[in-house]
Structure 1
Amino acid sequence: MERDTALDRVERVVDAVESETLPVPVREVWVYGDVALGLDPLDRLDVYVTKDILLRGDPDAAAEFEESHGVKGVGKSIRAEWAREHPDLIRANTNGYAAPEKCLAAHLLPDDDEPAHLEVCNASFEDNVTQRLKGAMAREAYEQILDPRGVCLYADGQRSPSAMEKLRNGEFAFPTLTAALEMLGVEGDEAEAAVEAMRAHRAEQTGTTVRGDVV
């Protein structure tokens, strides 16, 4: 993926978060990995969003959409307003309930063939990096580690005034992934093994992917 293409996509993601009705409220937008490092081209574009839960449900919408679309939970797990505006973008999990992370991916990354990944979590990027690392190391599920080298583009209703320009100019400096993991407390040999597992997992991914997480 060409870097300019990836950054144009990222800019559209931030624009959407800032100005459009989304399936759920989004509090933060980060990019991490290749795009944060300044690589060109990128193997994959990695975007992280922090979502908030819906505070007010719409039980009438839940019944309406279950009958019309066969999807449960509209108005509870995703906004009914968004679902009415974008019925073609409603996505469900295997249990038939509206899946916020899949709906966000359908809205923010509409090209299924694009080599892009969306991480969706209720926790901030930095908090989730720590939590995911602890869990992955305990289970030796290294492929689940989140690359900690990230750039925040949007937080709490405010777009960063300089982050996008710095991304386009390749001004961010980060350590190697191994060094970044070591800075988080992972021992040298295990950090190397983790990096290999992360790269192997990443190489297996194709098209647009999404992962939802709760911390």
Structure 2
Amino acid sequence: MEREAALDRVEAIIDAVDEGPMPVPVREVWVYGDVALGLDPIDRLDVYVTKDLLMRSGDADAAAEFERSHGLKGVGKSISAEWARAHPEHLRGNDNGYAAPEKCLAAQLLPEDEPIHLEVCNAPFDQNVKQRLRGALDRGAYEQVLDPRGVQLYGEGQRATETMAKLRNGELPFPTLSGALEMLGVDEATAGEVVDAVESYRDRQEGSTVRGDVV
């Protein structure tokens, strides 16, 4: 994916978040990994969004309405009923038949055929990086490590315009992934294994992908 096209896609994601409505409130938008490093082209565009809890809408009819029409539970509770009525084509559910906020966000924000990964979590990027790292190391699931080299481009309703300009110009210095992991306390040998696992996992991904996480 060409770098300029990737950053244009990020701008489009921020536009959509800023203009709304979203299935759940989005507090922050970050990019991380290849695009943050100034690589061109990039293998995949990695985007992280921090979501807020949805305030109950009080729309008692929404859950029953969408369970009848789309076979999905939880509309008006896990995702916005207003959004669901405006964007029924983007409704997505989990394996248990409940509306899935992360899948709804991905359906609205990401073209299916572009190499983009969307991470959706209730915790800020920096906090989740550390949480995921601890969990991945404990379980030996190194491919689940979240690349800590991230750049915040939107937060609390404000765009980071200067940061985006620096990102487009490749002016944001970052260490290697192994170096970044070592800065977080991972020993050199383990950091190398994590890098291999993360790169192998990324190489196997195709098209747009999404992961939802709760911390």
Moved over 4 A (4+): none
Is 2:193 the partner of 1:184? Answer: no
Structure 2's unaligned 5+ residue stretches are none
Tell me the equivalent position of 1:201.
201
TM-score normalised according to structure 1 size: 0.98
Q: Report the residue type matching 1:161 in the other structure.
A: T
SS at match of 1:162: helix
Decide which moves more: 201-210 or 157-166.
Answer: 157-166
Aligned partners of 1:137 and 1:59: how far apart in 2? 43
- Distance across 2 between alignment mates of 1:208 and 1:77: 22
Task: Write the deviation string for residues 148-195 of structure 1: whole angstroms up to 9, x where unpaired.
Answer: 000000111111131111111111100000000000000010000011
Equivalences for residues 68-147 of structure 1 within 5 A: 68-109=69-110, 111-147=111-147
- Amino acid corresponding to residue 77 of structure 2 in structure 1: K
* Whole-angstrom distance in 1 between the partners of 2:54 and 2:210: 20
Q: 1:7-29, CA deviations, whole angstroms, 9 ceiling, x for partnerless residues?
A: 00000011111112000000000
Corresponding position of 1:212: 212
* Residue type of the alignment partner of 2:107: A
Q: Which AA in structure 2 matches 1:12?
A: A
C-alpha displacement of 1:62: 0.4
Task: Quote the offset at 1:87 in angstroms.
Answer: 0.5
How far apart in 2 are the matches of 1:205 and 1:102?
16
Cα distance between partner residues in 1 of 2:67 and 2:96: 12
For these two proteins, the number of residue pairs brought into alignment is 214
Using the aligned pairs only, state the percent identity: 70
SS of equivalent residue, structure 1 residue 180: helix
Q: Matches of residues 55-66 of structure 1 in structure 2 within 5 Å?
A: 55-57=55-57, 58-66=59-67
Question: Contact 1:59–1:76 at 8 Å: present in 2 too?
Answer: no
State the TM-score, normalized to the length of structure 2. 0.98
What amino acid maps onto 1:124 in structure 2?
P
SS in 1 for 2:151: strand
Matches within 5 A, 1:156-167: 156-167=156-167
Distance 1:16 1:140 in 2: 37
1:59 Cα deviation after fit: 2.8
Deviations 1:110-163 (A, max 9, x none): x11100000000000000000000000001100000000000001111111311
What's the RMSD between the two structures over aligned residues?
Answer: 0.7
